[in-house]
């Protein structure tokens, strides 16, 4: 399933900083503590400026979803899940599930990952997909 958007940000810049103060995660709504590597996105959408954070776990989940969408032949711009629906999507895709007995989420990535490295890994993966697609058309 590719993600269909009505519109795209006029511009957006993503980065993976170590947070200097607490922020709220746009996807799971948990507080991101200061000193954690998170994803920051700032840009302009529909005439309004925005600045959002994803916690380390949700940022990893986002990259996992993007990778699987790309594997399903979605275009790059359609591979990124909407933040407010990302947790639902991951649950419906059986990537994560709530274990009633353990009263905990299962399948979620562990916090503390080096998001910059994972993001570079996604770029590499996308490049290899495109190279393969170009190779097949020759
Ligand atoms: Zn989160």
Domain definitions of the chain by residue range: 11-137
The Å distance, Cα 90 to ligand 1 centre, comes to: 12
The pLDDT of residue 73: 93
Q: How far is CA 79 from the centre of its chain?
A: 9
**Dihedral, CA atoms, 121, 59, 68, 49, nearest 10 degrees?**
-100
Separation of 31 CA from ligand 1 center, angstroms? 8
pTM for this model (two decimals): 0.91
Ligand 1 centroid–CA 138 distance in Å is 42
Neighbours of ion ligand 1 (CB under 5 A): 25, 27-28, 55, 58
Whole-number Å distance, alpha carbon 105 to ligand 1 midpoint, is 12
User: Rounded to the nearest 5 degrees, what angle is found at the Cα of 66, between the Cα atoms of 55 and 32?
Assistant: 0
Would you give per-residue pLDDT tens digits along the chain (138 residues)?
799 888 878 899 999 999 999 999 999 999 999 999 999 999 998 899 999 999 999 999 999 999 999 999 999 999 999 999 999 999 999 999 999 999 988 999 999 999 999 999 999 999 999 998 888 765
For residue 51, list its beta bridge partners: 42
Give the number of C-alpha atoms closer than 13 A to the C-alpha of residue 25, restricted to the C-beta side. Answer: 24
Give the distance (Å) from ligand 1 centre to CA of residue 82.
13
Measured in Å, residue 47 CA sits from the centre of ligand 1 at 26
Note the helical H segments in the chain.
Answer: 56-71, 86-92, 115-137
| Secondary structure class of 24 (helix, strand, coil) | strand
Number of H helices, E strands in the chain: 3, 7
Query: 82, 45 in Cβ contact below 8 A?
Result: no
């Amino acid at each position: 399933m590719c993600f269909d958007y009505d519109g795209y940000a006029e511009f957006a810049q993503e980065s993976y900083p170590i947070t200097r103060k607490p922020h709220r995660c746009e996807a799971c709504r948990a507080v991101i503590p200061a000193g954690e590597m998170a994803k920051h996105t700032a840009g302009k959408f529909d005439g309004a400026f925005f600045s959002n954070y994803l916690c380390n776990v949700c940022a990893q989940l986002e990259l996992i979803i993007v990778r699987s969408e790309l594997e399903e032949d979605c275009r790059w711009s359609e591979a990124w899940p909407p933040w407010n629906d990302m947790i639902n999507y991951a649950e419906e895709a059986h990537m994560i599930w709530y274990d009633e007995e353990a009263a905990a989420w299962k399948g979620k990535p562990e916090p503390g990952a080096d998001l910059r490295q994972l993001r570079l890994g996604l770029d590499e993966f996308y490049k290899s997909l495109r190279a393969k697609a170009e190779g097949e058309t020759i």
